[in-house]
Structure 1
Amino acid sequence: MEHDNDAKDAARTGPWLWLTPAVLVTVIMATLAALYLGSTVNSADHLDGFPVAVVNADRGDTGARIAEGLRKNTDGDKFDLRTLTLAEVREEMGKGELYGAIVLPADLSQKLGALAGPGTDVTRPQVTVYTNPLANTSSVSIVNSYATKALASANETVGGQLLTAAPKSTGAARLVLAAPMEVHTTPYEPVPNGTGNGLSAFYYALLLVLAGFTGSVIVANLVDAKLGFIPLEWGPVYRMAERSGRSRLSTLLLKWAVMGGLAVVVSAAYLGIAAWLGMPLDHPWQLWLLGVLVIAAVAVVAQAILALLGGLGMVISLLVFVVLAVPSSGGTTPLEALPPFIRFLAEFEPVHQVYVGTRAILYYGATWDAGVGRAVTASLVALVLGLAAGWLGTRAYDRKGLTRSHRAPATEPAEEPVPA
């Protein structure tokens, strides 16, 4: 008997006791490092289809030549340079679909011609570069870098033409002619106070997803402990309640109901805290409703994963809702500046879908096309899939008699009674 107990103890304390958690932690943390660092380091090398525009409002011919030069000298793989009108720029900027625009003024040709002429009352034409920090704060530096290089080349070309046309100019005049266009960079819409320089939408979206995920973990543990499926531990206190006998499906339905109520409460709490901190909230009801939907959808999916996969479900949920979701959100770095794999994740990972919705509500008038539609649709799809998978899976477990109860191994000998 003593030999059998020693063998069991050796099996319990063997290499798998430490090897399994060591492998899981290492893999998850290494994945976390690769994704987080990969989404921020050398983002300029990953540019792919970064949307910027050029607006040629010039009444002369020079603007058309400059715009054509910009198109020829722009890397078409890295940048999506669109030729738009100012009205079209306003529309796309207002939906977060455009990160920047170079606007060539209406009097560009006229002022450039005056610089090379005999007159003395002349001014340099001003080319305006608009950025869109509300679409993404990191996009501003990318737009500035692109516009600086592109317009420096255009300035050099135009300046060379003016110097050729005015060979007798000397001194300060030649300096002006060498760089005739003045470049002015400005945000298309100033970033309002209380938005964290345009990051409030990202953090709000992250909070909504974490509420659904973290709330599900807390509720699952507390409900299971109260129903006698797992022990309840508070510090040194260890309690194992009498097993309730509830089915897997009824237990999951109870957890869903609890998280449904919490979605309403937590979304309201978030809104109240945001108002207390001074965040601009032009559409509070829309933000609250989106919050309820997102928290409920994430909770339904997370609870279904936990119910179907048990302890492994915790690892899967962590990967889905945190490890893979945050770097693919597009909230801190534009998707167009992220590696291809992370851009692929953004197609379905939750934080990005929620981010475009909260951004639209907080910054872009809560319009459906600006991102609200995508967030609502993705949340509804996740909600339906989570409900279906959780219902059908736990029901199948129940029908097969896979109850949540502990059974001693058949080969384990019965304990001998202890003498009185």
Structure 2
Amino acid sequence: MSNVHPFRVLRAKRLWIVNGMVVGFVALLFAVFYVGANIDPAGHLHKLPVGLVSADKGVNAGGKQTDLGAQIVQSIKKSSQGEDKIDWRVMDEKEMKEELSKGKLFGALVVPSDFTSSVAALAGTEASGDAVRPTLTVLTNQSAGSVGSSMARQAATTAAQSASAQVGKQLTTQAKATQAELPAATLLLLADPAEVQIEDGHPLDSHSGLGLSAFYYSLVLVVCGMLAANVISGQVDHALGYTHNDMGPLRIHNPLLRATRVQTLAISSTVLARDHVVRGQSCRHVGAAAEGAGRA
């Protein structure tokens, strides 16, 4: 037996350099691909699909058909030309609901069927107390992803507020053309006539983790896979006698069973597959119990 003290291994430069390089490289990869990908999602946004729906029926005033919903859609599409952050997709309500349910849209901006008629009624209201503000609805879709849904909501809300201001300019111009004296509150209401309402376009189930269940499930799989691989690899090497097993002050060492690396890999894979089946059944039982408790 060698008389060299085990702690002398700490003097080996190779031990420090190799481990430092490997750990540093892995940490760098995590920082670049994981943290870097999530540190500025708005700055790296590209073609986020958002629905644009106009169900406005318009009104016929003085023999002229007015459709403010169509004007809003055209204005948003025109203002978004040359920008690649938001992909405004013009569609009808039925198609929009289907796209939201499939996770192909992160949100939507909907102009209701009575928008033009509500604006016309608002313009003809003399008393601000009797005025009913028209609405523009922003739909979110948490099931498609919380980050994407949040950015879609912000983009749709900004577009709705801009559309309201644009309609307000038209109403203010018309009010000034009539030379009628309107109360200050009415003028303020005409300047920003539309009310923006935010609704959930595709409600999540009660046990969906706010749309993050897929992320947490993937995270659990990765962590459990890494832990299982480390534990099984060590236990297989111990069972074959290549390493010893320390249990506090006790050290257990099995007789050496010579095996090739291919045989060792086959043994480890078999144990890992069996462990995967057992954990899968356990997860199903736990999930069923949690679902039953939630329903109760």
| TM bracket, shorter-chain basis | 0.7 to 0.9
Provide the residue aligned with 2:72 in structure 1. Answer: 66
Provide the residue aligned with 2:190 in structure 1. Answer: 177
Greater Cα offset, 266-275 or 62-71: 266-275
Is the contact made by 2:139 and 2:153 (CA closer than 8 Å) also made in structure 1? no
Unmatched runs of 5 consecutive residues or more in structure 2: 59-66
Instruction: Label 1:42 to 1:209 Cα distance change in 2 as closer, same or farther (>3 A).
Output: closer
> Distance in 2 between the 1:125 and 1:32 partners?
49
Provide the residue aligned with 1:146 in structure 2. Answer: 155
Is the contact made by 1:73 and 1:150 (CA closer than 8 Å) also made in structure 2? no
SS, match of residue 42 in structure 1: coil
> Which deviations, in whole Å up to 9, do the C-alpha atoms of 1:17-66 show, x marking residues without a partner?
21211222222223323444323322211111111111111112211110
SS, match of residue 216 in structure 1: helix
> Distance in 2 between the 1:21 and 1:126 partners?
61
Is the contact made by 1:194 and 1:279 (CA closer than 8 Å) also made in structure 2? no
Greater Cα offset, 238-247 or 114-123: 114-123
RMSD: 2.8
Instruction: Label 1:188 to 1:141 Cα distance change in 2 as closer, same or farther (>3 A).
Output: same
Aligned residues: 277
> Distance in 2 between the 1:181 and 1:49 partners?
27
What are the equivalent positions in structure 2 for 1:11-410 lying under 5 Å apart? 13-60=11-58, 61-74=67-80, 76-117=83-124, 122-167=131-176, 168=180, 169-278=182-291
Give the greater-gyration-radius structure (CA): 2
> Distance in 2 between the 1:224 and 1:109 partners?
76
Amino acid at match of 1:175: L
- C-alpha deviation, 1:227, in angstroms: 1.1
Instruction: Label 1:280 to 1:139 Cα distance change in 2 as closer, same or farther (>3 A).
Output: farther
Q: Which has the higher contact order (CA 8 A, sep 6+)?
A: 1
SS, match of residue 38 in structure 2: coil
Instruction: Output the TM-score relative to the length of structure 1.
Output: 0.60
Greater Cα offset, 122-131 or 200-209: 200-209
- C-alpha deviation, 1:12, in angstroms: 8.0
- C-alpha deviation, 1:111, in angstroms: 1.2
Instruction: Output the TM-score relative to the length of structure 2.
Output: 0.83
| Percent of paired sites with the same residue | 34
> Distance in 1 between the 2:173 and 2:44 partners?
40
- C-alpha deviation, 1:147, in angstroms: 2.0
Amino acid at match of 2:75: G
Is the contact made by 2:50 and 2:107 (CA closer than 8 Å) also made in structure 1? yes
Is the contact made by 1:275 and 1:281 (CA closer than 8 Å) also made in structure 2? no
Is the contact made by 2:52 and 2:109 (CA closer than 8 Å) also made in structure 1? yes
> Which deviations, in whole Å up to 9, do the C-alpha atoms of 1:288-308 show, x marking residues without a partner?
xxxxxxxxxxxxxxxxxxxxx
